[in-house]
Amino acid sequence: MKTKRIVGCVGAFLSIVSIVGSAYAVPMKDAAGKLYIDDLTPSGSAKVDFPNALKTINSNTDACGRLIVRNSSGTPLTGVGSILINGTSTPAPTAVDTVPRCLNGVAEVPQTTPYKTPAGDFVFPGLSPLSSQAIAFPGISLSRNVSVNACGFISLTSSAQYPLTGTINVNGTPVNTTTAPMGNPPKCINNVLYTAE
């Protein structure tokens, strides 16, 4: 059973709440858009899954100026409609071809249009040889382990890589970031949780 005591705090009333129970309280956002989720295990860790994350990597072109984006478990390309190359949205190739050998900076078979390999890799020819390219994959699910404070709550800030849009999962439990109400954020002072009343 939760216990409460009313104290004053910058024009708002706060309740001191003991940490009990396993179900999450209603997540809330502060005026800056930071998301707060409590009723977690104090001083533990929470796994947060972001289904709409933006994964970014740097990859070098080969000596023939081909950027080869590998299809892998970390960057699954199946069903991907587009990726960002140096910030420019680039449609995923649909034509299938094989990668010819590169001899002294010249491809055995000239290629000018993007294609994908039978293994599902994306190949973008015609770039500067041996140059670094920034690649971003929108809409790939990424996970973060977030430290839970001594009062049993976490705070999450939206970013391009980890956007707080739609539903995220915290320790496997869905949390709708869109419907989270605005409010005064909780505070943890001397391991005691203060929440808005």
Q: Encode pLDDT of 109-123 as tens digits.
A: 999 999 999 999 999
The candidate with the shortest Cα–Cα distance to 64, out of 126, 113, 123, 132, is 126
- What's the CA gap between 162 and 176, in Å, rounded? 14
19's CB contacts (< 8 A; 6+ apart) are 38, 39, 42, 151, 152, 193
The reply to whether the predicted model has a pTM over 0.75 is no
For the chain, state the CA radius of gyration: 24
pLDDT band at 197 (very low <50, low <70, confident <90, very high): low
Decide if 143 is inside a domain: no
Write out pLDDT tens, residues 152-194.
Answer: 999 999 998 899 989 999 999 999 999 999 998 889 999 888 8
One domain, residues 12 and 83: no
The CA dihedral of 45, 49, 54, 57, to the nearest 10 degrees, is 60
Domain range for 90 is 54-137
Residue 189 bridge partners (DSSP): 192
Token pair in block for residue 72: 């892998």
Instruction: Single out the residue in 100, 118, 137 at which a domain terminates.
Output: 137
Instruction: Single out the residue in 112, 137, 162 at which a domain terminates.
Output: 137
Decide if 121 is inside a domain: yes
Other residues' Cβ atoms within 10 Å of the Cβ of residue 51: 15
Decide if 37 is inside a domain: yes
One domain, residues 133 and 177: no
One domain, residues 106 and 156: no
Decide if 14 is inside a domain: yes
Three-state DSSP class for residue 35: strand
One domain, residues 61 and 126: yes
Count of domains for the chain: 2
One domain, residues 59 and 121: yes
189's CB contacts (< 8 A; 6+ apart) are none
